[in-house]
A and B are shown apart, each in its own frame.
Chain A
Amino acid sequence: MNSNEPLFHLMEISYKYHRTTAVAGITLSIAAGEFVGLIGPNGSGKTTLLRLMSGFMQPYEGKVCLDQIPLDQWPLKSLAQNIAVVPQQVTIPFSFTGKQMVLLGRIPHMGLSTPSPKDHTAAVQSLELIDALDLAERSYNTLSSGEKQKIILAQAMARNSRILLLDEPISHLDIKWQTQTLQLLSQINSQGSTIITAIHDLNLAAIYFPRLVLISQGQLIADGPPSTVLTKQLLEQVYETAIAIHYPFGPKYPQISPMPLEVPTVN
């Protein structure tokens, strides 16, 4: 493999749900080892873009290549060994324990057989990584949204895949765990994994992601470091709301506050 070639290459891809266009001609290259934040308003196409990158959905125009091979030519099992996906939420009809849930993440390595000691080790390790060993024997359906999110993250990490696609992995977490999780992701990234995360929190995105991709109405609006993507003009245009930008952590990390629609009166 030529190391100059991108890991992921999205070429002019479009996707429609019935008649609604969700992704409209996006071209994007992501190199191995990148840590990319995918931002944009609700319904802008972030989740669809991640699904197109996991191969769960096929674009009706254009193609997605991983290692220069179109996704639909990958054997499903090796694709699953390469890419782990963390969906927004997972509901299950019958309640597995936390550890059982994490072990399920090893299915691409297990095939039809029972988990090996290696699978168990990987499951326990990823529970340790997110400090969730105490959830191992708890029933998944009794956990809080934040605890569930941790288990789902551990499930993906147990895969030990080289690519992680995450769909708003911190939306239900408290501020401590939001930063801890992003810290953890950036640590996994520094060990060589490529990570692409849809994220709503622009302020945390600015701090943790070296590269941000801003999409709106299925189109790519901006792509680059936070300082060039998170500008007042672009964000006000895309989010259709007035914002203020300030730089408490330095010029590389813009922080965004929405302007209140009505300024509260202070006595």
Chain B
Amino acid sequence: MLKIRNSQKFTIVLLSITLLLSLLIGMSYGSVSISLKTIFTTFTYLFLFSGDAAENRGTIESVILIDIRLPRVLSAALVGASLAASGVLFQGLLRNPMADPYFLGTSAGAALGATLALSLTGAPSLLGWGLVPTLAFAGAIVTVTAVYLMATIDGTTPVIRLILMGFVVSAVLMAVVTLLIVLNSKLQLNLRHLVAFLFGGFGTNNWHQILTLMPVIFIGLAYATATSNILNAFSLGEEAAYNMGIHVRRHKALIIIVGSILTSSAVSLSGLIGFIGLMAPHAARIAIGPDHRPLILASSLAGATFMVFSDLIARIALAPTEIPVGVITAILGAPLLLYLLRNRANTYEF
């Protein structure tokens, strides 16, 4: 049904509990272990008084918790949820199971933005927000806008043209990135930071950045959930969507805008993390079915959980060396998706 069924409610409750657990585990493990008791008391202080009060209690653990661990797991969860939700938006709109949040050029645009930022400043982080996340966000948004405008001819924007245009523009921008790396000596010195951005990670996030993007991401997720009937209609094709009274052009543009803002927010927090935006929607669809209302929620929860665990593994597997989290999402995610597709595919025809 398009109504959320009991079994679907159960799955969503289960996913929420798993996410909560992953956050606790993610906060607890690391180079310094923090006991659940410390987490609990610190949070009690944090909520009852203020962040400062909790920090002023002075234990090293609570400082690590509030300044390092909490922003880290929070941004991992936010990034996972955004990429997973925007994966559902793009797969639904483009009617393409291979679509992911980077399909319309966001990743290439963000990569170019980050490259420009690193060649301009030489410093990976400035002004609290950092030039890299700012230009990555801007680059992603500008690229999607350009792809959309170039794919629009005579007022129509067919999906197939969007996909091809996204592919072409991505290829060109990545070539420019390569060219910049070769030509710009300052960039070569910053290659380590660029690589960190291109493979993704949660090392450099600060509260300022998280608190700015959190409301944006939550509004995006709320919109994505609210628009589920429209996504359902789009899965029948644009003519059918029109025949259901849906303003096809307007909603197509809106879905692309929201999907791109979610993706750009994620990219500006973590750099480019692949695979999760493709995998989480499929995993969620296998668990809960193709109806977009429960799907968006389930996919976001699954994406968030998966990202928090991936980041934890990235931190502790080869400690003190940190593995780029994109490596973990691909290594863990690919077999998981393969397993689901091979073993649960009888309930899941494309």
| Contact across chains for B350 and A94 when beta carbons are under 8 A apart | yes
Known A94-B97, A100-B1, A103-B2; contact A56-B243, beta-carbon cutoff 8 A: yes
Binds A, one of B15-23, B35-43, B232-240: B232-240
- With CB as the reference atom, state the residue of chain A lying closest to B242: A56
Q: In angstroms, how far is the closest chain B Cβ from the Cβ of A17?
A: 12
Q: Per a CB cutoff under 8 Å, which of B97, B229, B291, B348 touches A110? A: B229
The answer to whether B4 touches A114, judged by C-beta atoms less than 8 angstroms apart, is: yes
B262 at the interface (CB under 8 A from A): no
- CB of A194, distance to nearest CB on chain B (Å): 16
**Beyond A100-B291, A107-B232, A120-B1, is A112–B226 a contact (Cβ under 8 Å)?**
yes
Residues of A within 8 A of B92 (CB): 94
Q: Is A251 close to B, CB under 8 A?
A: no
Partner of B244, one of A51, A90, A108: A108
Would you list which residues of chain B between 19 and 52 have a CB under 8 Å from chain A?
none
* Stretch with Cβ within 8 A of B (4 or more), from A19-27, A76-84, A208-216, A253-261: A76-84
B247 lies within 8 A of chain A by Cβ: yes
Closest 10 CB pairs of A and B: A80-B245, A94-B290, A77-B245, A141-B349, A85-B243, A108-B245, A93-B95, A107-B244, A95-B349, A76-B245
Interfacial chain B residues near A6, Cβ < 8 Å:
none
Whether B293 is near chain A, meaning CB under 8 Å from some CB there, is: yes
- On whether the beta carbons of B240 and A90 are closer than 8 Å, the reply is yes
Given contacts A100-B1, A104-B236, A112-B227, contact A80 B243 (CB under 8 A): yes
**CB of A250 within 8 A of chain B?**
no
Interface residues of A (CB under 8 A from B): 51, 54-56, 76-81, 83-85, 87, 90-97, 99-100, 103-105, 107-108, 110-115, 120, 139, 141-142
Q: Which residues of A contact B350 (CB under 8 A)?
A: 93-95, 141
Q: How far is the CB of A188 from chain B (nearest CB, A)?
A: 18
The docked-state distance in angstroms from the alpha carbon of A76 to that of B250 is 12
A99 touches B243 (CB 8 A): no
Q: Which of A55, A112, A113 has the most CB of B within 10 A?
A: A112
| Chain A residues with CB under 8 A of B289 | 96-97, 100
Question: How far, in Å, is A111 (CB) from chain B's closest CB?
Answer: 7
Closest to B4 in A: A114
